[in-house]
């Protein structure tokens, strides 16, 4: 029934690529996406689709009301970049030093804009209302999703769907889970204050590097020895900053890292155990400390019925697509806030380049642009499947 729309989406492929490559050249990091937001708004103005700017910050939301009755479904794409210096040699490489679309958000935006342009000629055929939700600041907590929800933008929405181009997955494969899908993502910072001194007189110091090193080792035992083995958790120390030169014992050190969980009880247990270890270790070395723990995005927990719509119906959008239900991944996403408010699902759209595999957030990250129409078509299929389910 909707084959003509899927064809129209395919016909937007070159435009999607052009849009993606333009956005890739001019990335803007979280909370600084003014020009990107303006580009998105200008596109909807050109298409004649009503839109609102500055939603929850730099968010842009456009609304396409179909000519037939139905439900209102939001389709989300994020558009911020990362503070990374790009190392690719592609002709569309970043022109903004220190900023790069290293996670595919340029592709998310291009897919959703391409979908909107493909649907305009068929507006009267559509049931219900599509909300094109362009979100800023996914990469950096507190993120853009939470203030968008707090703005009331989802009050009239019945369901919400989103996808992430995923280079860990072959192009043509759609992946999600019925329930927990992505982990809650927290961050922490530990500052150690010891007493510095000459490298030849360690007995007169409180070596911050030794203390912090002990913490790195001890903290690894929180998950392995304190968390139920049947629960999922990750505790990673990502940075270790200390010292000035080879013959001076450091008086201070700083550790930063992340904790990933799905269960709030596990999250709280880890915080308590970290505090015990840090306090005990520093007390033993007669050093002072500061422990800062920031609870970040909650886990992405798909609503089972909406996730099932994706798994069962995505191939209807393109016969070359196949779906897989996968185990949850430990990456975080602030799409979680939408799912706390409304039914919906988040899923991965495979976008792997076989001969150019670099993970998300890598300075040589890139994705298969053939996945752009896959993302657009499966988002539209989710919208239609939701309408059809309610009718039946």
**Distances, alpha carbon 280 to alpha carbons 82, 211, 214, in Å:** 37, 11, 11
**Distances, alpha carbon 8 to alpha carbons 15, 111, 120, 339, 372, in Å:** 12, 13, 10, 30, 13
- 4 a known binding residue? no
Per-residue exposure over 41-68, b if at least 16 CB sit within 10 Å of its own CB, e if not: bebbeebebebeeebbbbbbbbbbbbee
- 105 a known binding residue? yes
Q: Which of 28, 138, 318, 366 is catalytic?
A: 138
- 198 a known binding residue? no
What domains can be seen in the chain, in order of their start residue? 3-183+299-391 (3.40.630.10), 185-297 (3.30.70.360)
The yes-or-no answer on residue 290 being catalytic is no
pTM of the model: 0.94
Q: Which of 28, 33, 78, 80 is catalytic?
A: 80
Q: What is the pLDDT of residue 389?
A: 83
How far does Cα 134 stand from its chain's mean position?
13
305: left (phi over 0), alpha (psi -120 to 50) or beta: alpha
- 360 a known binding residue? no
The yes-or-no answer on residue 263 being catalytic is no
Q: Is the pLDDT of residue 41 over 70?
A: yes
Residue whose pair of structure tokens reads 């912090």 in the numeric block: 212
Q: What is the pLDDT of residue 59?
A: 98
- Taking the C-alpha atoms of residue 386 and residue 307, their distance in angstroms, rounded to an integer, is 11
User: What are 318-365's pLDDT values in tens digits?
Assistant: 999 999 999 999 999 999 999 999 999 999 999 999 999 899 999 999
Q: Is the pLDDT of residue 390 over 80?
A: no
Q: What is the pLDDT of residue 170?
A: 98
H or E element: which one contains 129?
strand 127-135
Looking from the CA of 337 toward its CB, the CA atoms found within 13 Å total: 22
Residues 6+ away with beta carbon under 8 Å from 123: 64, 65, 66, 67
Q: What is the pLDDT of residue 391?
A: 67
Instruction: Output phi, psi for 225, to 5 deg.
Output: -125, -10
């Amino acid at each position: 029934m909707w084959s003509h729309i899927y064809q129209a989406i395919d016909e937007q492929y070159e435009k999607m690529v052009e849009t993606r490559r333009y956005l890739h050249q001019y990335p803007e990091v979280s909370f600084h996406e003014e020009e990107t937001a303006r580009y998105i708004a200008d596109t909807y103005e050109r298409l004649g689709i009503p839109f609102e700017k500055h939603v929850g910050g730099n968010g842009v939301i456009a609304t396409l009301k179909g000519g037939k009755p139905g439900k209102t479904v939001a389709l989300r794409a994020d558009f911020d970049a990362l503070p990374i210096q790009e190392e690719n040699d592609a002709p569309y490489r970043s022109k903004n030093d220190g900023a790069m679309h290293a996670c595919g958000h340029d592709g998310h935006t291009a897919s959703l804009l391409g979908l909107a342009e493909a649907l305009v000629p068929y507006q009267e055929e559509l049931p219900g209302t599509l909300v094109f939700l362009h979100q800023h600041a996914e990469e950096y907590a507190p993120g853009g999703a939470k203030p968008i929800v707090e703005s009331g933008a989802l009050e009239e929405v019945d369901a919400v769907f989103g996808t992430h181009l995923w280079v860990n997955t072959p192009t043509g494969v759609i992946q999600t889970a019925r329930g927990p899908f992505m982990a809650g993502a927290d961050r922490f910072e530990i500052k150690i204050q010891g007493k510095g001194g000459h490298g030849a007189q360690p007995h007169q110091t409180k070596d911050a590097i030794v203390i912090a090193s002990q913490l790195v080792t001890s903290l690894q035992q929180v998950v392995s020895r304190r968390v139920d083995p049947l629960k999922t958790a990750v505790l990673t120390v990502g940075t270790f900053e200390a010292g000035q030169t080879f013959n001076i014992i450091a008086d201070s050190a700083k550790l930063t890292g992340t904790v990933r969980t799905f269960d709030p009880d596990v999250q709280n247990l880890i915080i308590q155990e970290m505090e015990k270890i840090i306090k005990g270790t520093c007390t033993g070395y007669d050093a002072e400390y500061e422990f800062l723990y920031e609870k970040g995005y909650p886990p992405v927990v798909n609503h089972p019925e909406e996730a099932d719509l994706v798994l069962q119906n995505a191939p209807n959008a393109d016969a070359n697509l196949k779906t897989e239900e996968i185990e949850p991944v430990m990456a975080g996403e602030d799409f979680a806030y939408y799912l706390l408010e409304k039914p919906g699902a988040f899923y991965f759209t495979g976008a792997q380049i076989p001969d150019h595999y670099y993970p998300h957030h890598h300075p040589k990250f890139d994705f298969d642009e053939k996945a752009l129409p896959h993302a657009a078509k499966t988002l539209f299929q989710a919208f239609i499947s939701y309408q059809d389910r309610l009718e039946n």
